[in-house]
Every structure is written in structure tokens, then in C-alpha cells.
Structure 1
Amino acid sequence: MDVHIDGASRGNPGLSAIGITIKNDDKIIKEHCEFIGIRTNNQAEYEALRRALEICIDMDGEVNISSDSELLINQRNLKYRIRSQELKIISREITNLEKNYDKITYKHIPRTKNSRADYLANKALDKYVGANSKK
């Protein structure tokens, strides 16, 4: 199963949302977008991963995670250390979720190859901003 994730923040920290696409044999089987509150851009990327692993838990034992966040991918692949306390907390939650899978791979992709997840994250942000500008 192939999962594309993205976190979007307007400001750093700022209003944030996540976008997730889940594909099996190149067919989209599920999409998810969600406003997540005030976060940094890196926290939003990590929240996208955490949520994707929660959503996929009963779907498949093997997942390929793709993200345009070089920091997230290199930290999950243990190439970079995690220094941020907030990211360490989310990272522990992700590590616990990873135990539910037989195999997880993390791959960095260019932003252009992650456009659908990016679109979904921005759609959730636009919906939140639009709904709250009418109040």
C-alpha cells in the first residue's frame, strides 16, 4: 500500500492541516484531510504521518510512506536526530503505531510528486479559514 502524506502550515507556527492519500495498485482507496490547529510545519508533517498510520492500521501490514518533508523522512530513517521536544513526543507515538505493521518504508519525494496530499492539506485549511471568517 502506498501512502502520500503532507502537512501544511500558514505561519510557522500557524494554522495547520494534513492531507493523506492511500493507494493500492495505483488506485486511490482513501483520502483524508483534517485541520489540526496551531502547529509548526514540521509538527504538521509528523501529525500527517501519525494520522496515516492510524488510518491504515487495519488495511495492510506493509506500507510505503512518501513525503516531501526531507526532515521527517530522514528522521524516520534514523539519518537525522530529533532535537525538538514536541517532535520527540509525536515520534514516540509513531514508533508505537509502527509496531502494528510488518514493514514500513519511508521515502522522500519531490513536492511535485506529492501534489494530491498537498492539495488535501490546503483544502482543509481553506475550509477552516472560510468557515471561521464568516463568524
Structure 2
Amino acid sequence: MIEVYTDAATAGNPGPSAVGIYIKDRHKFSKYLGSCSNHEAEFLAVIYALEYCSQHYSGEIISIRSDSQVVVHSADTEHCKNPAYAPLLGKILALHQHFSYVFYKWIPDKENKHADRLAREELKKNQ
């Protein structure tokens, strides 16, 4: 099982945003997004994580851990209340085909320090 931690950092809502992805004991990376809302950035963090994993860990079981309740609930139920996030959720669900199983777990901020630090550092570099 591949444990993947995702997080986003934004300066304003919407505002400049970045994501951090920490794949436990394997890899870490961050990406600057430009301007978007905090929820959009959290969805994009999962998308970038799944895209990376599809290239490097195809067929594996993936555990996505996020401190975003909106993303975790949306991915678990395969539905989002806000239609603005539906295309992002659609991308996430389409990426599931690359893995034997994907599950999501909400974690508190204190358990997401690696991904949080990566996202904040990336945002700071680009401001």
C-alpha cells in the first residue's frame, strides 16, 4: 500500500496557491498553482498525487490522506455538493482506474505536517 499525504496552501481565498504531496518513504514534491480557491487547491493536490502515482505505482493500493474534509467526503461518496468542484472530482475518479484500490482518510492538520510544509514552502517561493 502506498501512503500519500496531500495538502494545499493559499494566500487569500481565492489567491496564490500551491500544493504539497508527500508519498511516505518514497517521494515528495510541490507545485505552484497560481490563483485558485482553497478547496480547488486541495482537489488539485489529490489530482497531482494520483497522476504521479499512476506513472510510478500503477496497479497498487493507494491511501490518500488529506486534512480537507470536502475532498475526502467528495471522493468517498463520489459526489460533491458544489457543482464547481464536479470537474475536479471527475478527474480524481477517472484516475482511480490506474490502481487496484484507492481509499481516502481524513487526518487532522497535525498528522499532515510533511505535505503542509511542502505546500507552504512552494507558495512562499512564488510570492
The TM-score normalised by the length of structure 1 is 0.87
Structure 1 residue aligned with 2:71: 72
Instruction: Kindly state the Cα deviation for residue 107 of structure 1 after the two structures are TM-superposed.
Output: 0.2
* Offset at residue 83 of structure 1 (A): 2.8
C-alpha distance in 1, partners of 2:43/2:33? 11
1:50-65 mapped onto 2 (5 Å cutoff): 50-60=47-57, 61-65=60-64
Q: Give 1:7 shift.
A: 1.1
1:1-135 matches, within 5 Å, as: 1-23=2-24, 27=25, 29-60=26-57, 61-78=60-77, 81-129=79-127
For structure 1, the residue ranges without an aligned partner over 5 or more in a row are 130-135
Q: Is the 8 A contact 2:74 2:89 kept in 1?
A: no
CA contact (8 A) 2:8 2:20 kept: yes
Whole-angstrom distance in 2 between the partners of 1:3 and 1:32: 11
Q: Could you list the per-position Cα deviations for residues 11-68 of structure 1 after superposition, in whole angstroms to 9, with x for gaps in the alignment?
A: 1111100000012xxx2x1111011011111000000000000001133321100001
Structure 1 moving runs of 4+ over 6 Å: none
Give the alignment's Cα RMSD to 1 decimal.
1.2
Structure 2: distance between partners of 1:32 and 1:85: 29
The gaps in structure 2 that reach 5 residues or longer are none
Q: CA–CA distance in 2 between the matches of 1:86 and 1:36?
A: 17
Q: Distance in 1 between matches of 2:123 and 2:65?
A: 21
The alpha carbon displacement at 1:116 in A equals: 0.7
* Count of residue pairs brought into register by the alignment: 124
Q: How does the TM-score come out when normalised to structure 2? A: 0.93
Paired with 2:22 and 2:6, the residues of 1 have a C-alpha distance of 7
Q: Distance in 1 between matches of 2:64 and 2:23?
A: 9
Max Rg structure: 1
CA contact (8 A) 2:80 2:86 kept: yes
